[in-house]
Amino acid sequence: MKIAHAFSIWMALAIGLAASGASAADDVENGKKIAKKCTACHTLNKGGKNRLGPNLFGVLGKPAGHVKDYKYSKALLDSGIVWDEANFMAFIDNPKKTIKGTKMSFAGIKKPAQRAELLAYFKTLTDAAAPKETAGNAEDGLVAAKKHCIVCHSFEKGGRVVFGPTLFDIYGKPAASIPGYEYSTAMKNSGLTWNDKNLLEFLSNPGRFLPGTTARFPGLKSAQEKADILAYLKTLK
Ligand code: HEC
Ligand code: HEC
C-alpha cells in the first residue's frame, strides 16, 4: 500500500515535470486545440462578432464586460473583475462558482494543465504579442545600431551626448531618465516606460509615435532591423 502510494506520488511528479518541460510553443498549440471548446460560443479573432458569448480577442487585462455591443449578465458586469491569470483560470475551471449568476453555461475545464495551456494560448490573442514573431538578434542589432543610430547616440554607460542621449540601459526605464540630457517636453511628459511594444513603435516612426519629440529620425522600415536593435538595446546593462 505504502509503496503504491509513494509510486503514485512519484508518477504525479514525473508527469508534472514532463508537463513543465514542454515548450511554451507546445502549450500554445495545445491551448489552441482546447479553445475549440470555447468557439461554440465565442469568436477569438480580432474584431470577431459575438456569438452566444462575447468576442474574446484581447480579453486578458481587460475589465469583465468590456465588449461594447454585447449584452452581459448583471452578475458579470457587477463582478469588478479585471481578467488576470488567476481569475481567468478560476472562471474557466468553474464559471458559475467564480461569478455567481453568470450566463456562461459551461461546465469548466477541470484539468489544471489544460487550463494552463488555454491561458498560454489566450495570452497570444493580443496586438502586443504580434511583434514577438520577429525574433531579434543582438549581434545584428549592434551592426544596425551603428548604421542607423550612432550619428545621434552613444551606447556606453555615461556615454557622451551626440545629438540624443546615451542609450545605455534604457530598456525597462522610464523615458527621459538619462540625467543631464535636455529632453523635449513631449518626451519628458510621455509617461512611457520603454518596453518591446513602445520601442518598436517609436523606432518605426518617432515623430508619429510621439509628436513633438526632437528625435528627428525618419524611422526604420525593416521589422527585422527593429527587432535586432531591440535585442541589442536589452544587452546594454
Ligand atoms: C455555452 C456557451 C459558452 C461556452 C462553451 C463558453 N462560453 Fe465563455 N461566455 C459565454 C457567455 C454567454 C458569456 C457572457 C457571460 C455573462 O455575461 O455572464 C461568456 C463570457 C466569458 C468571458 C468573460 C468575457 C468578458 O468580456 O468579460 C470569458 C473570459 C469567457 N467567457 C471565456 C471562455 C472560455 C475560455 C471558454 C472555453 C474554455 C468559454 N468561455 C466557453 C458562453 C460560453
Ligand atoms: C537624427 C538623430 C537621431 C537618430 C538618427 C536617432 N535618434 Fe534616438 N533620439 C534622438 C534625440 C534628439 C532624442 C531625444 C528625443 C526627445 O527628447 O524628444 C532621442 C531619443 C531616443 C530614445 C529615448 C531615450 C530616453 O532616454 O528616453 C530612444 C530609445 C532612442 N532615441 C532610440 C534610437 C535608436 C535605437 C536609434 C537608431 C535606430 C535612434 N534613436 C536614432 C535623436 C536621434
Write down all domains in the chain, each with its CATH number in brackets: 23-126 (1.10.760.10), 133-235 (1.10.760.10)
**Smallest CA separation from ligand 1 atom 18, residue:** 102
Lowest mean pLDDT of 16-25, 110-119, 132-141, 196-205, name the range: 16-25
Closest Cα to atom 26, ligand 1: which residue? 65
Q: What is the pLDDT of residue 1?
A: 44
Q: Whose CA is nearest to atom 33 of ligand 1?
A: 38
Kindly state the DSSP code that residue 35 receives in the 8-state scheme. Answer: G
Contacts of 233 (CB under 8 A, 6+ apart): 141, 145, 167, 170, 171, 199
Closest-lying ligand to the alpha carbon of 84? 1
User: What whole-number distance in Å separates Cα of residue 122 and Cα of residue 60?
Assistant: 7
Q: Helix or strand or coil: residue 52?
A: coil
Cell 469568436 -> residue: 43
Looking at all shown ligands, the one closest to residue 33's CA atom is 1
pLDDT digits (tens, 9 = 90+) for 138-193: 999 999 999 999 999 999 998 988 899 999 999 999 999 999 899 999 999 999 99
Which of 42, 100, 110 should be mutated for ligand 1, with most atoms under 8 A from CB?
Answer: 42
Q: What is the tens place of the pLDDT at every residue in 216-229?
A: 999 999 999 999 99
Strand partners, 193: 174
User: How remote is the CA of residue 54 from the centroid of ligand 1, in Å?
Assistant: 7
Mean pLDDT of 12-27: 57
Cα–Cα distance measured from residue 87 to residue 102, given in angstroms and rounded to the nearest whole number:
14
Among candidate residues 57, 35, 196, 42, the one with its CA nearest the CA of residue 124: 57
Ligand nearest to the CA of 200: 2
Over residues 20-34, the mean pLDDT reads: 81
Q: Which residue has the higher pLDDT, 182 or 18?
A: 182
Residues in contact with ligand 2 (CB, 6 Å cut-off): 145, 148-149, 151-153, 163-165, 167, 170, 175-178, 183-184, 186-187, 194, 203, 213-217, 220, 229
Summary mean pLDDT of the chain: 89
Q: Which atom of ligand 2 is nearest to the CA of 149?
A: 37
DSSP summary character for residue 211? T
Does the pLDDT value for residue 16 go beyond 90? no
Q: How confident is residue 8, by pLDDT bands cut at 50, 70 and 90?
A: low
10 Å Cβ neighbour count for 47?
7
For 224, the grid coordinates are 527585422
**Count of CB atoms within 10 A of residue 173's CB?**
12
